[in-house]
Every structure is written in structure tokens, then in C-alpha cells.
Amino acid sequence: MTPDDVLTELTALQAGDVPTHGGATMAYVYDSGRDEVDDLAAAAQAAFQWTNALDPTAFPSVARIENDLVGAALALLGGGPQAVGTLTSGGTESCLLAVLAAREQWRTGGGTGQPTMLLPVTAHAAFRKAAHLFGLEVVDVPVDPHTCRALPAAVGELLDDRTALVVVSAPSYPHGVLDPVGEIAALAAGAGVPCHVDACIGGWVLPFLDDVPEPFDLSVPGVTSLSVDLHKYGYAPKGVSVLLTATAELRHRHWFTTAGWPGYPVVNPTLAGTRPAGPMAAAWAVHRWLGTEGYRELARRVRNATVALAEGIAAVEGLRVVGHPVATLVAVAQDGDDGVDVLHLADEMTARGWLLQPQPPFAQPDGVLPATLHLTVTGATAGRVEALLADLAGAARAARALPPPVPDPGLVAAAADLDPAGLTVAEVEGLLELAGVGGGALPARMAPIHALVAALPRPVAERLLAGVLGRIYRP
Ligand SMILES: Cc1ncc(COP(=O)(O)O)c(C=O)c1O
């Protein structure tokens, strides 16, 4: 084979993928809509793809890149003179490290036993992963059922000696709304507890807008760390995020150092050992080229498109926009009992070439948050709002004509009695066959599957979801 043959074979694999460009895939990908951004990122990535950011003394270039990007993030997001930061591989890693730092600080401050984290139910799942990995207990903070913003009163009641961290989102992934950062950070500070702002998705958009309802960044008293992803609205390729900490002391708490082996002395600021420098270099290049003005122009264009989209959606009979979206995300819910089922709507939009991400209904202490569709608007979608709204109107009519997706009652009843921890892989696969998702291929219409997942006890649903991936990842 020639290298060209190999590349042809490789790129042919992408035929079944959702498009990464063009703005129709409204989750997972961030397309600025500007080819030059992509070309520049690709060239920068290629130039650094063999560099190992593990050791900035061997590769001083990566220290410079990291310092420049962290400096830019601090300038944009209210970092004071003591503030520092770290480049990570993505939002999840930034959130993990924020939790790790808080846990270590809590222990250093004399905390014993198991620490807790106060987590609004709308905070990203990465924090649940962090709790799982680092041994914290999650204490759920309810959100207002209408605005979907975290309730400060609940935070006030739940703070205690075991609280190692309070988290807020700017904005939250599921609904795109801004938590009351100032109020909650003040409560946390009053109790001597750090407060992390997860601005992974909004942190490179909100600073450029004029209509942000309230401050949310490191300049807010009580905010001790903040995460922001460059591989989202920094329009860099996958694999780069920033974790900012108000002090070098706090950053030090998520570093790992050992001289306790016969190999090279280890200082790892992140979870990785070897660190890919390609995404960092690409982010640096895109940032250098777009500059503050370039990002501002893009952010405003996307924000205007989001506002127009939200207004258009609110005008579609049977649909409503959840809460007040402050950035570039919109959550769409069924309006009224006879409104449009959004799980069917997602399938109808898929058939029309769009990817709108279904989010199941969620039971929280203050009632059930309805099922929603998540729409991430990017530069590429901004030029297609009219087409999107036209397809949404047609899809809503089609979805209305369908009976509500109801999971098989026999399957739900049987699953309710299961002990998920005791299920073998083979038993999980048997259940998936019964549910119509055996064999690793998902059906074209996913609404009944989402309805089934929502109807199952959470631990059972989680076990079955892992089973689906277990079938997909088979050599
Ligand atoms: C608010 C928020 N936090 C964390 C993450 C996790 O980021 P990643 O997928 O890069 O790990 C996301 C991803 O969408 C997010 O929106």
C-alpha cells in the first residue's frame, strides 16, 4: 500500500460519522466556520506533534506556550496578581484537578474522614467522576425548577465541616444558564470553603458579551478556581483546556511529585505523564491569530444567532426554551401536556441531518426537570439559524403525530428488581438484546431507548449504558 492508500482507507472510516463541520452537529464539536482557523491549527499541531510537554526543561517552547495561554485566560477571566493556571487535556481533566486540589487543601487544613462536594445537579458529570475517583461524597444541590439555576439557600444549609468544595457553572451544560456565582461563592467563602466556577463551555464566550447578567469569574470574591476549555469556544482542536487557580498554593495541591523511584524525578501538574503538545500549540496559534478582537467578533455573532434561535424556538407551538440562556447553549423542552415530545423531535431532526442532543428527564429533590434537547451554537451554525428553525418546525409537526415513546413495561418491571452490581457482562448483553440494542448497533429512532433509560433505576440504567459501549468497543 502507499501512504495515500492508507489515508484513503482511514478517511473512508469517517463516512459514518456525524459532520465535524458545517454547524449541523450541535454537540461535541465547535466549528468557527472559518477555514483559516482550522488550517492554522492543523499546521501548528503538526509542528508540535512529536514534542513531549512532560518536561518543559527539555522543551522550553511548551512552557512558553502554556504561560502565554494561561496568561491570556487570566487576563480574560479576572485573575488577580497571585493567580496561576495549568493547561490540561480537556474539561473533564480540569474539573478533576480542581476537585483534587480542593480535597488536598481540605486534608491539609485538618479535615479527616470523607470530604464532600456540594454539587448543583446541573453541574457537569465530570465532577461526579472526580468524586468517584478521589473518594469524595457528592451532596446534591437542587436547582430552581423553572430557572434551572443552583439554589443558594440550599448551599447555605448544606455547607459544613466536611465540605471540601462548592461548584457552580458558567453556564451549565444541560440548560446554558448561569448559576448565582456571587451569592454562592460568598456563602462558600464565609464557611472557609473553596468555590470552583466551571466555565469550561462558556468561559471563552461570556467575557466578550455585553449582556451577561452578573459577574462569574475569578474576580468574584470567594471564587478560588475556574476551568475554561480552549477546545470548545477557543476553537482549538481537541485536547486542550485551562484550569486557573486564585493562588499558586492551590495549584500546587493538584500537582504530583515523586523522587521515589530509580527513574527521572517526576513532577506532573496534570493527570498525564507524557503530555501531547500538539493541541496546546494549535490553541496558541489560533489565539495568536484571532486575538481578542477575533474572538469578540465570533462570540457576538454566535450569541446573536443563539438569541434569534431561542426566539424562533419559543414561537414553535408545543416547544419552549428552558430558563434564560446566557451564552451560546439552548435547552428545548416540551411546552404543555399536549406539546411536542422532544425525544421524538431529536429523531426527526436526525432524519433532517441535524444532531440535537437528547437529555432525559431528571428527578431532583425539588421535583423533576423535564427532558430537553441540548443545542450548542457555534460560528458555523450562526449562518444557518433560519434553516434550522424551518427544519425544527417541520420536525415538531412530525413528532406531534407520533404516540409518546413508552418503554416496554415488562422490561421496566424486570429491570427494577435487578441488582446492577451483581450483573455479569453476559447478563447485561441479554438485557440489551431484549431492549433492542444488542449487537452494538443503535436503532435509527432512539426515542424509545431514551424513554427506557429514563424509566429505569439509575444504577441499572448506568450498568446497561456501559453494556452498550462494551458492545461497541469490540475488536
Ligand atoms: C460545563 C462543562 N464542564 C465540563 C465539560 C467536560 O469537558 P470535556 O468534554 O472537554 O471533558 C463540559 C463539556 O461539554 C462542559 O460543558
Q: Which tens digit of pLDDT belongs to each residue from 395-432?
A: 999 999 999 998 888 888 888 888 999 999 999 998 88
In a domain, 268, yes or no: yes
Q: Give 198 Cα–ligand 1 centroid separation in angstroms.
A: 9
Query: Does one domain contain both 240 and 97?
Result: yes
In a domain, 15, yes or no: no
In a domain, 360, yes or no: yes
| 386 vs 404: CA distance, rounded Å | 28
| 444 vs 436: CA distance, rounded Å | 11
Query: Does one domain contain both 186 and 94?
Result: yes
Query: Does one domain contain both 115 and 215?
Result: yes
In contact, 141 and 184? CB cutoff 8 Å = no
Q: Give 124 Cα–ligand 1 centroid separation in angstroms.
A: 7
How does DSSP classify residue 236? P
Q: Give 67 Cα–ligand 1 centroid separation in angstroms.
A: 22
To which residue does cell 512558553 refer?
64
Q: How large is the average pLDDT for residues 213-236? A: 98
Query: Does one domain contain both 159 and 220?
Result: yes
- 310: CATH: 3.90.1150.10
Query: Does one domain contain both 383 and 416?
Result: no
| 77 vs 227: CA distance, rounded Å | 10
Number of compact structural domains in the chain: 3
Task: Show the cell assigned to 151.
Answer: 439554589
Last residue of a domain, one of 400, 417, 434: 400
The finding on whether 65 has its CB within 6 A of some atom of ligand 1 is no
| 385 vs 237: CA distance, rounded Å | 24
In a domain, 431, yes or no: yes
Query: Does one domain contain both 163 and 82?
Result: yes
The finding on whether 229 has its CB within 6 A of some atom of ligand 1 is yes
CA-to-CA separations, 107 to 156, 171, 324, 350, in angstroms, rounded: 22, 29, 38, 48
CA-to-CA separations, 427 to 78, 317, 411, 417, 449, in angstroms, rounded: 52, 43, 14, 14, 18
**Of 229, 242, 271, 374, best ligand 1 pocket probe by most atoms within 8 Å of the beta carbon:** 229
Last residue of a domain, one of 349, 380, 400: 400
Q: Tell me which residue range forms the domain holding 357.
A: 300-400
Query: Does one domain contain both 280 and 309?
Result: no
Q: How many CA atoms lie within 13 A of 340 on its CB side?
A: 30
Q: How confident is the model at residue 435 (pLDDT cuts 50, 70, 90)?
A: confident
In contact, 312 and 389? CB cutoff 8 Å = yes
Q: How confident is the model at residue 443 (pLDDT cuts 50, 70, 90)?
A: confident
Check residue 156 and give its pLDDT: 98
Check residue 249 and give its pLDDT: 98
Please name the residues in contact with 397: beta carbons below 8 A apart, sequence gap of 6 or more.
none
Check residue 407 and give its pLDDT: 87
Check residue 436 and give its pLDDT: 83
Name the 3-class secondary structure at 103.
Answer: helix
- 55 pLDDT above the threshold of 80: yes
Q: How large is the average pLDDT for residues 259-288? A: 97
Residue 9, H or E segment? helix 3-12
Query: Does one domain contain both 53 and 107?
Result: yes
Query: Does one domain contain both 458 and 391?
Result: no
**Of 119, 173, 233, best ligand 1 pocket probe by most atoms within 8 Å of the beta carbon:** 173
The finding on whether 120 has its CB within 6 A of some atom of ligand 1 is no
| 341 vs 376: CA distance, rounded Å | 20
How does DSSP classify residue 394? H
Query: Does one domain contain both 102 and 230?
Result: yes
Query: Does one domain contain both 56 and 164?
Result: yes
Name the 3-class secondary structure at 244.
Answer: strand
The pLDDT tens digits for 155-195 are 999 999 999 999 999 999 999 999 999 999 999 999 999 99
In a domain, 2, yes or no: no
In contact, 447 and 407? CB cutoff 8 Å = no
Nearest atom within ligand 1 for CA of residue 232: 10
Q: Cite the DSSP H helix spans in 16-134.
A: 35-47, 60-76, 91-108, 126-134
In a domain, 22, yes or no: no
Last residue of a domain, one of 400, 417, 438: 400
The pLDDT tens digits for 233-255 are 999 999 999 999 999 999 999 99
Check residue 96 and give its pLDDT: 99
Query: Does one domain contain both 208 and 159?
Result: yes
In a domain, 347, yes or no: yes
The pLDDT tens digits for 137-165 are 999 999 999 999 999 999 999 999 999 99
- 264: CATH: 3.40.640.10
- 441 pLDDT above the threshold of 90: no
In a domain, 31, yes or no: no
